Structure 1
Amino acid sequence: MAGLRERQKAARERRILEAASTQFRKSGYRAAKIEDIAEAAEVSVGTIYNYYQTKGDILIATVAMEDQEVIAAGARILEHPPERVGAALLALIYQYYDSSLKYLSKEMWRLAIAHSIENPLCPSGQRYAELDRQLAKQVTDLIRVLQHRGDIDPDLDVGSLGQLIFSAINQAFIGFVKVDDMTLHDLHALIASQIEPLATQIEADVGTQ
C-alpha cells in the first residue's frame, strides 16, 4: 500500500507541474493563478499548497522535473559515449539544451534563475543549486568515463575540468534564455565553438588521437 500511495502522490505532483507549465506559458508566470493550475490538474487549491508554498516553488519544481529527465537521458549517453571526446561532450550538452524548453519557456527560465539567485537559502533556491550540482557531476562523470577509456590524458584533473566545462555550458544557456530570438541551433553553434577546441587540446594531450 505504501508503494501505491507514493506512486499516486508522484502522479498527482506531475499533473500539477504539467498543468502549471501549461498555465505559465498560456497566461505568463505572474498572471497565472493557483486556482487555474488546480482546475487543470484536477486537484484542489489546498492540495497544491500541500506540495508547494509559492508559485516560485512550483516553478523550481518544474525545473527539477525537466532536469531529472535530462539526467536520466544523459546517463544513457555515459553508458555508450561517442568515440571522439568532442562528440561525446556535445552529445551530452545538446541533450541538456534540446530538452530545456519542453516544460519551461525562456521567460520561465529567466524567472527561475532570478528566483534561485534572490533566494539562495530558501528550499527552492537550494533545490535549484542541487540540480546544478547534479548536472555538473554528470559532466564530470562523462569526462571520467572518457579518461578511463583512454581518450583523455590520465594526468588531467577530472573534477576541475568538469567544473570548467559545466560553467561554460551554464553561461551559454543563460545567454540563450536572455535573448528571445536566439535559437537552439545558435546555442549549439556557440557551445560547439567553445567545446571543440578544448576537446582537441585534450585529445592532443593523449598522444594517440
Structure 2
Amino acid sequence: MTAPMGLRERQKADRLRRILEAASTRFRRLGYDAARIEDIAEEAGVSVGTVYNYFGNKGDVLVAIVSVEVEEILEEGAQLIAASTGDVAEAVGALIGLYYDHSLHYLSKEMWRTAMALAIRSPDTPVSRRYTALDARLAGQVCTLIESLQTRGKVRPEIDATAVGTLLFNNLNMMFIEFAKDEEQSLSELKAQVSWQNAPLLRLIAAPDRPATPPG
C-alpha cells in the first residue's frame, strides 16, 4: 500500500499541477512560441523561479503535459483492455478511439506539432528520449490488447501479436501526425479513416467463429 503524502509532498504536487494547467492554458491562448515562462508563472500563481525549479525550459514543460496526457490514456486503456468483451475490430477500435478522444484534452494540435518537432530536432536530448519512451509505452499497450484478444480466442493463435500490435500503433501514430498537421480535420474523420485502414488487417487476424456444439 502506498504511504499517504506528507504536507510538503502535497504542496509540491499541487504546484506542479498548477504549473502544468497554467502552461496548457497559456500555450493554447498565446501559442507555444509566444507564451513565456513568466506568463506560465503568472497563470499558476507562482514565481518564475518556482517554474524553473521543476523545468529547465518550455520544451520540458510541454513534454510534461504530453506525459500527463499519456499517463491518463494508459490508465484508461488498461481498464478498457481488462473489461473488453467484444470482437477484434470492436476492441481495437475502442482503444484507438480512446487514444484519439483524449489526445486534445490538454494539448492543441499546435502543441502536438511543437512537441513532435522538439523530439525530432534534438533526438539525443532528455525531452526527445522522454517523448520516444511515451510512444513506446502506447505501442506496448496496443500489443497487450492483441495478446489479450489472442488469449481469449479472438485472434488466430499463429499471429505474432507483438508485430501486429506494433503495426497498428505505427499506423495510428502516423495518422495522428497527419491529423495534427491539418487544422481542419476532425477527430471523427480521423477515427473513420483509421478504422477503414485497419479493417482488412483485423479481418485477417480474427479467429474464425466456432460453430455451436450440437446438443448431446
Shorter-chain TM-score bucket reads over 0.9
Alignment gaps of 5+ in structure 1: none
| Other-structure match for 2:56 | 53
Q: Mark the structure with the bigger radius of gyration.
A: 2
1:123-142 correspondence to structure 2 within 5 Å? 123-142=126-145
| Other-structure match for 2:15 | 12
Task: Number of aligned residue pairs: give it.
Answer: 207
Return closer, same or farther for 1:54/1:155 CA change in 2, 3 Å cut-off: same
Alignment gaps of 5+ in structure 2: 211-216
Secondary structure (helix, strand or coil) at the match of 2:5 reads: helix
CA distance, structure 1, for counterparts of residue 27 and residue 20 of structure 2: 10
| Other-structure match for 2:177 | 174
Moved more, 80-89 or 177-186: 80-89
Give the aligned residue type for 1:117.
Answer: I
Q: Alignment partner for residue 80 of structure 1, among 80, 83, 98? A: 83
Percent of aligned pairs sharing the same letter: 49
CA distance, structure 1, for counterparts of residue 147 and residue 9 of structure 2: 35
Q: CA deviation at 1:2?
A: 8.2
Q: Alignment partner for residue 71 of structure 2, among 48, 68, 72? A: 68
**Which aligned segments of 4 or more residues in structure 1 are displaced greater than 4 angstroms?**
none
Give the aligned residue type for 1:27.
Answer: L
Q: Deviations over 1:124-159 (max 9, x none)?
A: 111100100110011001111100000011111111
| Other-structure match for 2:209 | 208
Q: Which has the higher helix share?
A: 1
1:105 aligns with 2:113: no
| Other-structure match for 1:3 | 5
Secondary structure (helix, strand or coil) at the match of 1:3 reads: coil
The alignment's C-alpha RMSD in Å is 1.4
- TM-score under structure 1 length normalisation: 0.95
Give the aligned residue type for 2:79.
Answer: R
Moved more, 75-84 or 172-181: 75-84
Q: Deviations over 1:93-124 (max 9, x none)?
A: 01000111111111110010000111221111
| Other-structure match for 1:151 | 154
Secondary structure (helix, strand or coil) at the match of 1:32 reads: coil
CA distance, structure 2, for counterparts of residue 82 and residue 129 of structure 1: 31
